[in-house]
Structure formats: C-alpha cells, structure tokens
Amino acid sequence: MTSKKRPKVKPKEQKTGATSETLALSHKEIADVIFRETLAFQRRDYSAWQDCWVHEERTQDVYISSTAGLSALRGWTAISTNMKKFFDDDRWSEIDEFGQENLCVSEVKRVVSIE
C-alpha cells in the first residue's frame, strides 16, 4: 500500500477577511478612537466628541458615575441628545475624576464591546 500525502490546507480566513493579526490592529484602532473621544470630552469639544461615535440606532453607551449612577442609552439619537444637553448646560462640576485604565476590547460575531 502506498500512502498518499495530503495536500497542505491553509486555514480559512474569517468571513470578514480578518486574521488574528488584523483583528489586533482593529482593536488598537478602536482603542485609539476611544482615547480621542475621551480627550474631546475632557476638552469640552462636542463636535470632536460626536465624530468618534457611530451615528446609528444600534449604538449603545453605558457608563457609571457617582452622580448619575448607571446610565445605559441605546441609539445615537438618545446618546447625542443626552450629551448635547450635558455639553450645552455646562454640567462639568458634576463629573468626578475619570480616566481609562486596562481597556479591554472584545469581539463576538462582529459585535465589539469595550470595558
């Protein structure tokens, strides 16, 4: 009996065409957008802040603060309305110190969450 050599098979790429290397890059890009969004917020620049968001109703914003407690907004209309009012009403004294530490980007079936 002779044994046939199996041809080498390349692993299939994900449907998005992304590999683990390009996914890591996209996670870095996501982290960069979050950094820019936070910087715009700190600078009180609504225009730059809103440029960092996906303006669709699938967008969600969840945050916790000592003044607002847990806030969960769904859809760009709700998020932008809430934040535009925040920027316009000059409610900056309500903010405790904030920052970004140990940013974790997770992706499941093209849905990305950031913790």
Report the distance separating Cα 66 and Cα 10, nearest Å.
Answer: 52
What confidence tens digit (pLDDT) does each residue in 48-100 have?
999 999 899 989 998 887 777 898 999 999 999 999 998 888 777 666 566 66
Report the distance separating Cα 73 and Cα 78, nearest Å.
Answer: 6
pLDDT at 9: 39
Checking if the pLDDT of 43 tops 60, the result is yes
